[in-house]
Structure 1
Amino acid sequence: MSERDDPGTIGRRVQQLRAERGLTQRQLAEPAYTPAYISTLEAGRVRASEDALRHIAERLGVAYEELATGRPAHLATGLRLRLTEAQRTLAAGETAQATEQYTALLAEAREHALPEAEAAALLGLGECALDTGELAAARQYFERTEDALADAPLPARVPALRGRAVSHYLAGELRYAVYLLESTLDELNRAGLHDPDALLLLYASIIGPYMDMGAHARAAQAAEFALTLAPQAGDPALVARMHRSVARTLLAEGRVAEADASLAKAAELYRTLQLRTELANCHWMRGYVYAQNGELKRAEEELRKALAMLAAGRAALYGSQAAVELADVLHRRGKSEEAAELLRDVLSDLSPERGALHAAAAHRLLGIIAEDARDTESAEEHYVRALSLLERAGAVGDLADLCRLLGDLLRRTGRVEAALDAYRTGLRHRTAPGTTTLGPAPAQPPL
């Protein structure tokens, strides 16, 4: 049975439409029903069957949906089409236009009480806010999406849960992001809700936080699950995102050629789908691959492509990440002044609550550049700032490396005890590689 208004509301609607058309109750009723039935229906004393409402709608010359719900005919279908168009607009990197589209759709969905369309518009606004780096706004949109889908099955809520986790991740709250993703995976797998798209989205999204926390074993396992789920997924955008995330674990294992191949597959899918921001992230990851392999010229070309695409799409935080990688390549190519200028621009757009990991990476590289210029005071200041940001975020692997850099600097300037403290701190972060503080890994899907 389709969703419909209460009998009293429908009765008043029938009476109003009948009067507007100058029909009597007998004329409306014939030939299938009686005038008395129409009278009872208009008084709200009977719940009309679907067949009765369809007969009355035909006699009144309106769509069944409009008579039963008060909504214009085909409204829900029209909204879905416009939601798809907004999604394409966002995928093409036109975030401002997509935000306008989703805002208008949200107002219309609310006006006509269409909760599914309202949830989809809220989710889109959350994704737009992620692209522009407005993390607090993004989190609120995703929370409101979850509220709108409170009665829906868990797989339907996964995109909003994933969005909320990503907003915490980009804000530097790694442990909480992992907690959200792991607990959702656990609930899906333990309850037997093995939706391939939902599981693939979660496993692909958790690889980055795992890697930044130094939990390489869990990242590798998540990548393995994602690769196994990919053939079952119905959404090629998810498959492309998975290939990009899996490349990180392949790099950690030194499998550079396989990582590059995985990113090439993702890039081809994103070109097909016209997902500009994700395609830019593929160029960023390919630049990272080339940089790790010592191919600095190719790395610079890929990273400049990524940065230009992300700037055009106003994907602020993703752009900051690509800018830090590009600055590292420029420094290694002897262009330290250009690298430092790029990093200062990055830091002007970030804060501890917004892009903590990117800010830490920028301070770390500025410290290295300052050391090369023999400005030890500035180098130490940048290292200490980076250390503070990473400790707050819980980025264990990066913390250990930064403690080594700071210790070496302190030792060269004659502060041996302080250097030893820095080394000890770094060793503590190295004592349990590949672990988190979150307990057992989530339940596994039946693969």
Structure 2
Amino acid sequence: MDEQEAGIGRRVQRLRKQLGMTQRQLAEPSYTPAYISIVESGRVRPSEAALRFLAGRLNTSVEELTTGRPARLATELRLALTDAQRELATGSAVDAAGAFERVAADAARLDLGPEQAEAALGLGDCALETGDLDRALAQFEEAERLLADAPLPRRARAVRGRAVAHLLTGELRYACYLLESAIEELSTSGLADPEALVLLYAAVIGPYIDMGAHARAAHAAELALSLAPRVSDPALVAGMHRQVARTFLAEGRIADADASLAKAQAIYRQLRLGTDLAHCHWMRGYVHAQGGELALAETELRTARDMLSARRAELFTAQVEVELADVLRRMGRYDQAAEVAGTLLRLDDRHGAVHAGGAHRLLGLISEERGETEAAEEHYVKALALLERSGASGDLADLCRLLGDLLRRAGRVEAAMDAYRTGLGYRATPGTTTLGPPPAAPPRPEE
């Protein structure tokens, strides 16, 4: 006797008796009492038509008859997922994580794979926001495992989540590899879902620009913009506009970047998506800084920092503080800049190496402008050590240039030449980004 058939039979018998029905009453008018008896004994599995008939007569669902799970439980879990997602968007990531954990536990108990996967994705997003990158990676990997048999468009969020987590740890090449591989698979498999592609193209813009692959970033932005009219999710469209603004910045198109950010900001404000709105303030601050409007940049960056700090988004807050410290330095407010940058040195080497490296670079610049040569050299060397494994070639090349210039002015010509040679190895030119310029043509990501 098949266990599933026996289970269906037991449930039919239990529900029939609860309703006080005889086998004849349940069977009429479409079946016979003998057929009901065979079903209840577990000797036959009802056809789909019979299951629908029995479910209707027993005031239940086909799902409950076949699995034993009341249909309302799956609906209640989906409602709980929606509540958790709203909490993450508009409230606390910590509270949202608690809600997602409860959904995950219930979904696992009921063997509801899709709801388990959604909960894992939510937990991954919460972990990204709070800066727990190890947990974020584990949750996105769990989501991919649960969705292993699903088509790639369904797995795109998990891939994007893993890539963002690797990006935040400074692993730029691997982040690009994950995103590029997924985009290629989507493009060649006939599963070119526009929402999945926009999600992945928007995600790859950031690491491309950080690595100096401006042409690739611009191409990804162009493709994302062309697909946007086919995307129904406004938050996804807003995220795409936010990332596209980075390509406009790289091309010096400040007005276009600001317009793109304004579109994103309007959508996020309407949807009340706090973290994403904070990211728009951050990017607009960067746009103002690149245009020399330092007072406006400071206002936008402080707004972004306060919003992200209130949500306990530690790593995102750190990224904004790097930008803010640089703006304060450029305004000549060295003590305030040093204070902001100094708070970033607390970040650990794995989860905050890139931001701590940026802080050391800024502290080196401040020390150099104050005439404190030895302190400046120490900060530059520490920044190099922190950034070496990130793949951010431009940042490293810029640091080598700064260190070489410092050593040359101090008369240490041979040491300066060594620093310059090291910088040339990263194949980049000086620039104005906070952490230093990205390379013009980086090698392709390695597997």
- Give 5+ residue unaligned stretches, structure 1: 441-447
- Give the corresponding residue for 2:382: 385
Q: Residue 193 of structure 1 aligns to a residue in which SS?
A: coil
Letter of the 1:409 partner, please give it: L
Q: Residue 214 of structure 1 aligns to a residue in which SS?
A: coil
Matched, 1:142 2:140: yes
Letter of the 2:368 partner, please give it: E
Query: Alpha-carbon deviation of 1:431?
Result: 6.3
Contact 1:244 1:282 in 2 (8 A): yes
Q: Residue 45 of structure 1 aligns to a residue in which SS?
A: coil
Between 1:58-67 and 1:250-259, the stretch displaced more is 58-67
Matched, 1:414 2:420: no
Query: Alpha-carbon deviation of 1:103?
Result: 0.8
Percent identity over the alignment?
63
Contact 2:297 2:327 in 1 (8 A): yes
Contact 1:65 1:73 in 2 (8 A): yes
What are the superposed Cα offsets for residues 301-357 of structure 1, whole Å, 9 maximum, x if unpaired? Answer: 000100011011111111110011111111122221122111121221x22211322
Question: Which one of 349, 352, 355 corresponds to residue 355 of structure 1?
Answer: 352
Query: Quick one: distance in 2 between partners of 1:336 and 1:246?
Result: 32
Query: Alpha-carbon deviation of 1:93?
Result: 4.3
What are the superposed Cα offsets for residues 61-119 of structure 1, whole Å, 9 maximum, x if unpaired? Answer: 33443223212233323322322222121111421121111111111111221111110
Matched, 1:434 2:440: yes
Query: Quick one: distance in 2 between partners of 1:241 and 1:191?
Result: 25
Query: Quick one: distance in 1 between partners of 2:17 and 2:263?
Result: 62
Runs of 4+ aligned residues of structure 1 deviating over 6 Å after TM superposition are none
Query: Quick one: distance in 2 between partners of 1:103 and 1:330?
Result: 41
* 1:201-220 matched pairs, under 5 angstroms: 201-220=199-218
Contact 1:218 1:434 in 2 (8 A): no
Letter of the 1:170 partner, please give it: L
- Give the corresponding residue for 2:392: 395
Query: Quick one: distance in 2 between partners of 1:431 and 1:404?
Result: 10
User: How many pairs align?
Assistant: 435
Query: Alpha-carbon deviation of 1:435?
Result: 2.8
Q: Residue 355 of structure 1 aligns to a residue in which SS?
A: helix
Query: Alpha-carbon deviation of 1:184?
Result: 0.8
Query: Quick one: distance in 1 between partners of 2:91 and 2:394?
Result: 32
- Give the corresponding residue for 2:286: 288
Contact 2:81 2:103 in 1 (8 A): yes
Change (3 A) 1:230 1:51: same
Query: Quick one: distance in 2 between partners of 1:166 and 1:228?
Result: 23
Matched, 1:126 2:132: no
Q: Residue 389 of structure 2 aligns to a residue in which SS?
A: helix
Contact 2:396 2:423 in 1 (8 A): yes
Matched, 1:273 2:271: yes
Query: Alpha-carbon deviation of 1:159?
Result: 0.4
What are the superposed Cα offsets for residues 102-156 of structure 1, whole Å, 9 maximum, x if unpaired? Answer: 1111111112211111100100000000000100000000000000001000110
Letter of the 1:294 partner, please give it: G
Contact 2:427 2:440 in 1 (8 A): no
Contact 2:328 2:336 in 1 (8 A): yes
Change (3 A) 1:179 1:121: same
Query: Quick one: distance in 1 between partners of 2:158 and 2:245?
Result: 24
Query: Quick one: distance in 2 between partners of 1:251 and 1:55?
Result: 62
- Give the corresponding residue for 2:93: 95
Letter of the 1:211 partner, please give it: I
Letter of the 1:122 partner, please give it: A
Query: Quick one: distance in 2 between partners of 1:93 and 1:203?
Result: 28
Query: Alpha-carbon deviation of 1:18?
Result: 2.8
Query: Quick one: distance in 2 between partners of 1:58 and 1:254?
Result: 65
Q: Residue 392 of structure 1 aligns to a residue in which SS?
A: coil
- Give the corresponding residue for 2:225: 227
Query: Alpha-carbon deviation of 1:189?
Result: 0.8
Query: Quick one: distance in 2 between partners of 1:385 and 1:270?
Result: 38
Query: Alpha-carbon deviation of 1:274?
Result: 1.3
What are the superposed Cα offsets for residues 213-271 of structure 1, whole Å, 9 maximum, x if unpaired? Answer: 11111111111111111111121111111111111111111111111111111101111
Contact 1:287 1:302 in 2 (8 A): yes
- Give the corresponding residue for 2:366: 369
RMSD: 1.7
Change (3 A) 1:430 1:319: same
Q: Residue 71 of structure 2 aligns to a residue in which SS?
A: coil
Letter of the 1:263 partner, please give it: L
Instruction: Calculate the TM-score normalised by the size of structure 1.
Output: 0.93
- Give the corresponding residue for 2:316: 318
Contact 2:398 2:428 in 1 (8 A): no
Query: Quick one: distance in 2 between partners of 1:315 and 1:77?
Result: 31
Query: Quick one: distance in 2 between partners of 1:93 and 1:208?
Result: 26
Instruction: Calculate the TM-score normalised by the size of structure 2.
Output: 0.93
* 1:15-94 matched pairs, under 5 angstroms: 15-94=13-92
- Give the corresponding residue for 1:423: 420
Between 1:140-149 and 1:363-372, the stretch displaced more is 363-372
Q: Residue 393 of structure 1 aligns to a residue in which SS?
A: coil
Change (3 A) 1:431 1:61: closer
Letter of the 1:41 partner, please give it: V
Query: Quick one: distance in 2 between partners of 1:20 and 1:228?
Result: 58
What are the superposed Cα offsets for residues 281-300 of structure 1, whole Å, 9 maximum, x if unpaired? Answer: 10000000101111111001
Contact 1:170 1:356 in 2 (8 A): no
Query: Alpha-carbon deviation of 1:379?
Result: 1.3
